[in-house]
Amino acid sequence: MNPLMRKLSPSATHMIRTDHSHVLSVFHQYETDTSPQTKKALVNSACLSLEIHAQLEEEIFYPAMRQAMAESATVDKSVSEHEEMRRLITQLRGMEPTDPQYDETFMSLMRDVLHHAAEEETIMLPKAERLLGNRLAELGAEMMKRRLELSAPHAGEIAMNGVRTMQTGTLVMTTGAAVAGAYLLKKVFERGHHHA
Structural domain boundaries of the chain? 9-152
Answer yes or no: are the C-beta atoms of 55 and 150 closer than 8 Å: yes
Percent of the chain's residues with pLDDT above 90:
68
Is residue 176 predicted with pLDDT exceeding 60? Answer: no
Q: Residue 171's pLDDT band (boundaries 50, 70, 90)?
A: very low
Answer yes or no: are the C-beta atoms of 15 and 28 closer than 8 Å: no
Q: Which residues contact 4 (CB under 8 A, 6 or more apart)?
A: 188, 191, 192
Is residue 177 predicted with pLDDT exceeding 70? Answer: no
pLDDT at 72: 86
Q: Of 20, 18, 8, which Cα lies nearest the Cα of 138?
A: 8
Mean pLDDT of 65-76: 91
How much is the pTM?
0.77
pLDDT at 162: 61
d(CA 13, CA 34): 33
Answer yes or no: are the C-beta atoms of 92 and 102 closer than 8 Å: yes
Averaged confidence pLDDT in the chain: 83
Mean pLDDT of 47-69: 96
| Residue pLDDT, tens place only, 93-110 | 999 999 999 999 999 999
Is residue 168 predicted with pLDDT exceeding 70? Answer: no
